[in-house]
Structure 1
Amino acid sequence: MAEQRGRVYAPRMAPEERREQLLDAVLRVIVEQGVHKVSIDTVAKEAGVSRPVVYGLFTDSEQLLRASLDREEAAALAGMAAVVPSATVGDPVQAVSDSVEHFLTAVLDAPDRWRAIFLIANASTPAFRRRLESGRQAFIAALVTFVRAATPPERLSEIDVELTARTIYALFWEAGRLVLAEPEAFPPQRIRQFASTFIPALPAFHNPEALQ
């Protein structure tokens, strides 16, 4: 049999390993070219495989994109759940500062995942934004629980717990975006230092007696 020349074959992989390789390629396409560029062709090219290799695991580009978003969403939600500050730490300011630092570590450990999340958050496609909204609401709800537990009971009537939680959430979100978009201007240590001075200024954690 004559040897076939000029055709490059992808190395053999177990189906699960191949699937992860292709989903990694989807993520790179999203980050580098945009969600709208995800297709069987672009993913195959990015992964360095042929179209039949992709079709062996995914029926079309929609299933490919959905599988990638499912994977990244699950990982992001798990990461966010792991960094929710704990009111049992004792010092809520320290708890939030530590949580911001842990969140930024998670972002920097998986930069493409979080770049894709920040991109999708600004997407004009409602379906993509809805995927993020449930996770966002869950994180805010966890922060509401934290703020309520960390606020002295006698001060709860004067504190807007939900707005405080949403303010802390905004700090997390913007910090994650900045540490990727402008790493030299906004390194993690700068953001943590800001958090350690900003959080005590919030009414829920501000202690006027400490200033007397």
Structure 2
Amino acid sequence: MSAPPRQRRPYAARVPMDVRREQLMDAALAVIVRDGYGGVSVDAVAKEAGVTRPVVYGAFEGLGDLLTALLDRQQVRAFGRLLAALPDDPDPKDPAALVEVAIERLVTMVREDPDTWRPILQPPDGLPDAVLQRIEADREQVRGIFAGLIAGVSEQQDGVPFDADLYAHAMLAVVEHFGRLLIDDPDRFDTQRMVDGATRLLRLLWR
């Protein structure tokens, strides 16, 4: 009797390394969205992408390296979209309108593409220090943009100038918190509710 034929292992077609890395990052993001960060592993990513573990290790040094690359990619995308969401030519004499337009665009952006924002607003525990430093550096850049907008508004107001740096921290905290609410419970927090709430809250800072 001849031995039964050996079952062949799945074969991953050869693709350029940059394409493979994108494929694996997409697979990791899909696992995060479906199973949370606790479900992410090299095995889970390989299964999601339809490849073997050695293929993953051929593209990344390990899970930490893969998550770092994913976070870097999502940050680049998110930061570009954040800049695009800010008003092109803000009028510092009308801060209420500035806040309303910016918040509406930001809320719409997060609702339309929560997967881009999830690794930024809800980063996993145990990230390498280099990644955490990158997140904070990006936040600092956004805070700087907010501080510039707030300083411009302050120049148009009577009385004591705003503490633009402090207000920028508060504004970013509001934006990030509202972003997490949108990701966690999008049906409960519709766009208009978020816009109204954020606008009223941020207006309090500018009275």
Question: TM-score category by the smaller chain?
Answer: 0.7 to 0.9
Preserved CA contact (<8 Å) 2:86 2:105: no
How far 1:142 moved relative to its partner?
Answer: 0.7
Give, as a single letter, the amino acid of the residue that structure 2 aligns with 1:27: L
Residue correspondences, number: 201
The offset of 1:173, in angstroms, is 0.9
Contact 1:164 1:202 in 2 (8 A): yes
Q: 1:26 to 1:200 in 2, by over 3 A?
A: same
1:92 to 91, 95, 104: 95
* 2:170 is the counterpart of 1:144: no
Give the aligned residue type for 2:118.
Answer: R
Partner of 1:66: 68
| Residue 167 (structure 1) aligns with | 170
| TM-score (normalizing by structure 1) | 0.78
Partner residue, 2:179 = 176
Query: What secondary structure sits across from 1:138 in the alignment?
Result: helix
5+ residue gaps in structure 2?
none
Distance 1:66 1:196, change over 3 A: closer
Tell me how far 1:133 sits from its aligned partner. Answer: 0.9
Root-mean-square deviation over aligned CA pairs? 2.9
Point out the more displaced range, 142-151 or 167-176.
Answer: 167-176
The secondary structure found in structure 2 opposite 1:56 is helix
Alignment TM-score, normalising by the size of structure 2: 0.80
1:82-131 CA distance string (max 9 Å, x none):
334566335222122111122222222332232222221x7355624323
Q: 1:189 aligns with which of 183, 187, 192?
A: 192
Q: Which of 114, 136, 141 in structure 2 is aligned with 1:111?
A: 114
Gaps of 5+ in 1: 207-212
What is the CA–CA distance in structure 2 between the aligned matches of 1:181 and 1:154, rounded to whole Å? 37
Q: CA–CA distance in 1 between the matches of 2:16 and 2:126?
A: 36
% same residue? 34
C-alpha separation in 2, matches of 1:154 and 1:180: 36
